[in-house]
Amino acid sequence: MGPVNFGRVCMALRATKENNEEPSKAEMFIATRTKNEKQVDPETEVVIEEVKELKEEVVELRKLQGLKEEVQELQQLRHLMKLLVKNNPGLNLEDAKGFIGSNQPSPVDSSSVRATRVQNIPRSSGSTHGPTLGKETYGDAIGNGGRKLS
């Protein structure tokens, strides 16, 4: 394949992408090897299949990472619920579930859980102490002897 034809293939691939971005080396390799109707040698076919499988694995890994983040956020919410119930023994769990459900952002507003979390953190006007939201142990100030809450 000559430089002019290579440039045409590159332009065609660029046109298929969002934002007209440059095609990757793997995409160019596959496009230049499979463009013609000729028979592709077996070694090249193996490499092309490996590249395609790697791309699929990357997509799956990204999905898994997103699921891991969601699980972590749910675990944090679960921990907060345990603290809420422990600190409020007279609390009715059914009332708490209704309260939590009514506070959920609509799907249009919930593009980022982190953005929602940042908006809901109360701000202190003159405090010099750091937030204690992430701590798992509490000292004798509240009477539990520094034990972990679970």
Question: Quick one: pLDDT band at residue 45, thresholds 50, 70, 90?
Answer: confident
What single-letter amino acid sits at 41? D
Q: Identity (one letter) of the amino acid at 96?
A: A
d(CA 131, CA 129): 7
* Average pLDDT of the residues in 73-97: 82
Q: How confident is the model at residue 143 (pLDDT cuts 50, 70, 90)?
A: low
